[in-house]
């Protein structure tokens, strides 16, 4: 059987320019007619091919003008690949060790040719195999601290930042998906929503009529719409990260835009929380659950530590002109501002984490961590634990001012089962 | 004696295109060689001419590539006139009764030809003559509520708003002036600062080393740099408003950018507070002081009332998709969101008001309301009252949750003298 996908597989190489062919040749040798092309993508929206030649392999990623997993009934601008490349370029300057190298790019065909991460696996899959990645929290917090700090007013002049904001402001269609799928649909009756039914029917109904949740999610959405803090990845779940024991690579920043820093931190935290709550549905693995929660603690605390350190070494943006700091005030002012700043990012992160958990259980796109629990009764219990934590954090995030208290909330929910 | 200004006066008409000449002719009749040209500008940065013909008059405003009141040593992009026009165009659609009509625009020469407001005077001058404008608070709150609401996510789609944000993001040079003159310079020793000396020397010194103020002003600046809430006028003091007993016109939006709504509201409030505190230095006029404070109350309360009403009639932006509102939740959700939203705008407004008072007493640009107090001892007392209120509001704005409490603070400061 040859589907659309097969046609695309055959069609992708002929769409490449001679420069792109030359760039691939330089990396993997051989010629187009001797290369093999295999589709390897498992995401919702793009085609991803592995092109193999005598000396190696490259990844060819093509954005189609619709959502791959849905079809042409859900159109989506292929120009998202342009913003993905722009974000990868920013990241390649700021944190090059954590992103795949881009070899070439075909703007009209929306094709990006990238380094193949052959020794890495998708972090979500690694977590589902209960693999530990001892260097992961160090890497991801380095990436988060650097990409958020260096694209913000903390480091840039207002003019530099505004130019970047304007560039990524054009990525409206992808942002609109986030606005709908994260901040709206899970809180109403929408045909794109799904959940473990009938077990979670009553919870889904309760969430769709919950007035406090509607207020909280709208105030969180307002931050996403108005807070031009930093260039955020925009979709930093465990499926957007590739890992092995040595390295961590952050991929797929096509949702990149200027937004609140807590959005990236929160989505990442949420995906570890979801993975944690999925464990009970698989019989439980206390040591691995402990490791997952340890990641939650480390992601926040190491991010905060590294982000703080950048204030000491690189605070040169228009946020705080150095001439404002007199000798007698420098330490006090910076410490107080940093404390307030991190408290706000923490508070935002809890809100965005909660919104991610909710949309992954009640919305359109679920996570494999939960989906693999075959028994719907067990899965529903795990998912409802996650939902209860998320609702508490979304409505009452201001009550939680450190990560340890959040962990207590999570553990208490697990125990309550 | 013929200065630069004389030359410019003679030079301005020849810079106009034939279309502009025709547009002026249509309005005032006559020909360029019979028109008289008088310079009428008293602002810091532009040339403003009155061109008179047989049937009427028009205003010709030219942006020079430097700050008029300083000279070529302070270069400033003439492109600011482009953003002024863009803001006037927005306002002409949203609140046409409150802005002068633009007849024609010469982009290369940075010249705008506008309706002459011959029966209006600058509000600041009116206040200095103790004139009351019974319709002013109604007009200005209508202008504020409409221009802020209709350019925000409350009314616009995210895509529409982002396009406007990107357009005004290019107005970086004017924003930089705000960043420096309002949020930085008054809190340090800067050669552009001036104050009533030696009477305020110790206060100026105290402000330049005040650690809490440095923290507070930086957190306020961060809102200005990151909060893309609405298209703000950006310089809404009483010198940017022309009034008579019937009408109110808001002019000079060349500092327009996307920013926090409280910036416009706060600057306006601050200029009434400054005018209020100046009264004591002129011998006191209890009835007029009372009227000025009444304006402060009405500006906030009427703005809040009109802004709230727009939530009922025009809440159609991406901030709150209507489908999120189920019948049972609609009233609760909107009321709660609106209450929270207005509380935040109020809090922001107090901070920005405080920053405006401080920069008008200790910074580069002062207000004529205070400057006209000839006795420096008396002026210093008035200014120090204003500074004490401003410091309290800047550091402790969260303690003040309604306008009546702010008025108590202001009155108490006046009494203490």
Gap from A373 CA to chain B (nearest CA, Å): 31
Do B209 and A337 make contact, defined as CB atoms within 8 angstroms?
no
| Kind and range of the H or E run holding A53 | strand A46-53
Answer yes or no: is pLDDT of B30 > 90. Answer: yes
pLDDT tens digits for range A18-32: 999 999 999 999 999
Answer yes or no: is pLDDT of B2 > 70. Answer: no
Do A321 and B215 make contact, defined as CB atoms within 8 angstroms?
no
Q: Can you tell me which residue has the tokens 């024609």? A: B104
Searching chain B, which residue's CA lies closest to the CA of residue A157? B176
Cα(A147)–Cα(A135) distance, integer angstroms: 18
Q: What is the mean pLDDT of chain B?
A: 94
Cα(B188)–Cα(B207) distance, integer angstroms: 8
Closest Cβ opposite residue A222 in set B153, B219, B333: B153
Do A333 and B214 make contact, defined as CB atoms within 8 angstroms?
yes
Do B188 and A227 make contact, defined as CB atoms within 8 angstroms?
no
Comparing B2-6, B8-12, B183-187, the range with the smallest average pLDDT is B2-6
In eight-state DSSP terms, residue B30 is S
Compute the average pLDDT of residues A218-247: 98
> How would you write A161-190 as a 3-class SS string?
HHHHHHHHHCCHHHHHHHHHHHHCHHHCCC
Q: What is the CA radius of gyration of chain B?
A: 22
For residue A282, CA distances in Å to A42, A56, B381 come to: 23, 38, 74
pLDDT tens digits for range B265-275: 999 999 999 99
A417, A280 contact by CB (below 8 A): yes
Do A158 and B184 make contact, defined as CB atoms within 8 angstroms?
no
Answer yes or no: is pLDDT of A5 > 90. Answer: no
B409, B392 contact by CB (below 8 A): yes
**Is A332's Cβ below 8 Å from some Cβ in B?**
yes
The DSSP bridge partners found for residue A47 are A62
Instruction: Please check whether the domain covering A4-115 is classified as CATH 3.30.200.20.
Output: yes
B395 contact residues in A (CB cutoff 8 A): none
Kindly indicate the confidence band of residue B173, based on its pLDDT and cuts at 50, 70 and 90. Answer: very high
Answer yes or no: is pLDDT of B5 > 60. Answer: no
- Burial label for B156, CB within 10 Å (0-12, 13-18, 19+), is buried
Gap from B283 CA to chain A (nearest CA, Å): 37
pLDDT tens digits for range A139-170: 999 999 999 999 999 999 999 999 999 999 99
Cα(B74)–Cα(B65) distance, integer angstroms: 9
In eight-state DSSP terms, residue A229 is -
Compute the average pLDDT of residues B355-371: 97
Searching chain B, which residue's CA lies closest to the CA of residue A332? B211
Cα(A299)–Cα(A148) distance, integer angstroms: 14
Answer yes or no: is pLDDT of A330 > 70. Answer: yes
Parallel, antiparallel, or unpaired for β A46-53 and A241-243? unpaired
**Is A320's Cβ below 8 Å from some Cβ in B?**
yes
Confidence at residue B230, expressed as pLDDT on a 0 to 100 scale: 98
Closest Cβ opposite residue A166 in set B158, B169, B340: B169
DSSP codes, A356-402 = HHHHHHHSS---HHHHT---HHHHHHHHHHHHHHHHHHHHHGGG--S
Do A319 and B214 make contact, defined as CB atoms within 8 angstroms?
no
**Is A344's Cβ below 8 Å from some Cβ in B?**
no
Gap from A187 CA to chain B (nearest CA, Å): 7
Rounded (to 5) percent helix, strand, coil in chain B:
60, 10, 30
Do A184 and B214 make contact, defined as CB atoms within 8 angstroms?
no
Do A165 and B166 make contact, defined as CB atoms within 8 angstroms?
yes
ipTM, two decimals, is: 0.94
A162 contact residues in B (CB cutoff 8 A): 169-170, 172
Compute the average pLDDT of residues A413-417: 65
Do A318 and B153 make contact, defined as CB atoms within 8 angstroms?
no
**E-state strands within B116-260:** 121-122, 230-232, 241-243, 248-250, 257-259
Cα(B404)–Cα(B346) distance, integer angstroms: 12
Confidence at residue A46, expressed as pLDDT on a 0 to 100 scale: 86
| Kind and range of the H or E run holding A112 | strand A111-115
**Is B340's Cβ below 8 Å from some Cβ in A?**
yes
DSSP codes, B120-158 = -EEHHHHHHTT---TTHHHHHHHHHHHHHHHTSTTTS-H
Compute the average pLDDT of residues B233-255: 97
Kindly indicate the confidence band of residue B28, based on its pLDDT and cuts at 50, 70 and 90. Answer: very high
Domain ranges of chain A: 4-115, 121-416
Q: Which site among A223, A260, A321 would you substitute to test the B interface, given the most B Cβ atoms closer than 10 Å to its Cβ?
A: A321
Confidence at residue B342, expressed as pLDDT on a 0 to 100 scale: 98
B329, B359 contact by CB (below 8 A): no
Q: Which two tokens stand for residue A389?
A: 């934590």
Confidence at residue A7, expressed as pLDDT on a 0 to 100 scale: 58
Answer yes or no: is pLDDT of A347 > 50. Answer: yes
In eight-state DSSP terms, residue A291 is H
Q: Which of residues 162-181 of B touch A (CB under 8 A)?
A: 162-163, 165-166, 169-170, 172, 175-176, 179
Class of domain A121-416: alpha beta
pLDDT tens digits for range A354-382: 999 999 999 999 999 999 999 999 999 99
Cα(B86)–Cα(B107) distance, integer angstroms: 12
Tell me the three state secondary structure of residue A104: strand
Residue A257: HSE in the Cβ half-sphere, 13 Å Cα cutoff: 28
A323 contact residues in B (CB cutoff 8 A): 184, 188, 190
Confidence at residue A303, expressed as pLDDT on a 0 to 100 scale: 98
Gap from A200 CA to chain B (nearest CA, Å): 20
Preceding peptide of B116 cis, ω within 30°: no
B323 contact residues in A (CB cutoff 8 A): 184, 188, 190
Q: Which of residues 223-252 of A touch B (CB under 8 A)?
A: 225-229
- Burial label for A205, CB within 10 Å (0-12, 13-18, 19+), is exposed
Closest Cβ opposite residue B158 in set A172, A188, A215: A172
Q: Which two tokens stand for residue A279?
A: 């464990």
Q: What is the mean pLDDT of chain A?
A: 94
Answer yes or no: is pLDDT of B4 > 70. Answer: no
Gap from A112 CA to chain B (nearest CA, Å): 26
Answer yes or no: is pLDDT of B174 > 60. Answer: yes
Q: How far is Cα of residue B212 from the mean position of the Cα atoms in its chain? A: 26
B222 contact residues in A (CB cutoff 8 A): 153, 319
**Percent of chain A residues past pLDDT 90, beyond the cut:** 86
B255 contact residues in A (CB cutoff 8 A): none
Kindly indicate the confidence band of residue B332, based on its pLDDT and cuts at 50, 70 and 90. Answer: very high
Kindly indicate the confidence band of residue B417, based on its pLDDT and cuts at 50, 70 and 90. Answer: very low
Q: Which two tokens stand for residue A336?
A: 């107080």
Answer yes or no: is pLDDT of B3 > 60. Answer: no
Comparing A56-70, A248-262, B126-140, the range with the smallest average pLDDT is A56-70
A344 contact residues in B (CB cutoff 8 A): none
In eight-state DSSP terms, residue A101 is P
Kindly indicate the confidence band of residue B1, based on its pLDDT and cuts at 50, 70 and 90. Answer: very low
Answer yes or no: is pLDDT of A2 > 80. Answer: no
Searching chain B, which residue's CA lies closest to the CA of residue A224? B319
Q: How many CB pairs under 8 A join A and B?
A: 129
Answer yes or no: is pLDDT of A132 > 90. Answer: yes
Compute the average pLDDT of residues A313-333: 94
Cα(A205)–Cα(A58) distance, integer angstroms: 46
**Global pTM?**
0.95
Q: Which two tokens stand for residue A258?
A: 């200027």
Do B333 and A211 make contact, defined as CB atoms within 8 angstroms?
yes
Cα(B354)–Cα(A43) distance, integer angstroms: 51
């Amino acid at each position: 059987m040859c589907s659309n996908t097969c046609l695309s597989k055959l069609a992708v190489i002929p769409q490449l320019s001679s420069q792109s062919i030359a760039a691939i040749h330089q990396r993997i040798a051989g010629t187009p007619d001797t290369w093999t092309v295999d589709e390897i993508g498992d995401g919702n929206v793009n085609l991803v091919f592995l092109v193999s030649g005598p000396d190696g392999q490259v990844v060819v990623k093509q954005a189609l003008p619709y959502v791959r997993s849905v079809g042409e009934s859900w159109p989506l601008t292929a120009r998202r690949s342009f913003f993905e490349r722009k974000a990868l370029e920013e990241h390649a300057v700021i944190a090059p060790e954590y992103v795949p190298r881009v070899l070439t790019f075909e703007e009209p065909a929306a094709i990006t040719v990238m380094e193949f991460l052959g020794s890495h696996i998708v972090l979500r899959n690694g977590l589902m195999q209960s693999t530990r990645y001892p260097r992961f929290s160090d890497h991801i917090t380095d990436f988060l601290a650097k990409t958020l700090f260096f694209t913000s007013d903390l480091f840039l002049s207002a003019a530099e930042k505004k130019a970047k904001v304007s560039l990524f402001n054009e990525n409206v269609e992808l942002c609109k998906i986030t606005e709908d799928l994260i901040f709206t649909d899970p809180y109403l009756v929408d045909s794109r929503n799904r959940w473990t039914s009938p077990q979670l029917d009553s919870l889904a109904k309760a969430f769709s009529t919950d007035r406090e949740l509607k207020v909280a999610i709208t105030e969180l959405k307002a931050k996403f719409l108005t807070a031009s803090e930093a260039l955020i990845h925009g979709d930093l779940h465990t499926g957007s990260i590739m890992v092995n024991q040595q390295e961590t690579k952050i991929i797929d920043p096509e949702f990149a835009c200027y937004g609140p820093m807590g959005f990236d931190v929160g989505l990442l935290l949420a995906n570890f929380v979801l993975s944690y709550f999925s464990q009970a549905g698989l019989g439980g693995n206390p040591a691995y659950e402990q490791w997952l929660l340890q990641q939650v603690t480390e992601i926040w605390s190491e991010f905060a530590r590294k982000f703080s350190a950048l204030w000491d070494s690189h605070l040169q943006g228009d946020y705080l002109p150095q001439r404002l700091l007199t000798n007698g005030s420098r330490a006090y002012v910076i410490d107080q501002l940093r404390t307030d700043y991190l408290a706000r990012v923490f508070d935002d992160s809890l809100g965005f984490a909660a919104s991610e958990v909710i949309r992954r259980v009640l919305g359109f796109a679920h996570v494999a961590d939960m989906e693999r629990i075959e028994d719907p009764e067990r899965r529903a219990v795990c998912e409802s634990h996650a939902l209860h934590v998320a609702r508490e954090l979304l409505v009452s995030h201001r009550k939680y001012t450190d990560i340890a208290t959040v962990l207590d909330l999570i553990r208490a929910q697990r125990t309550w089962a």
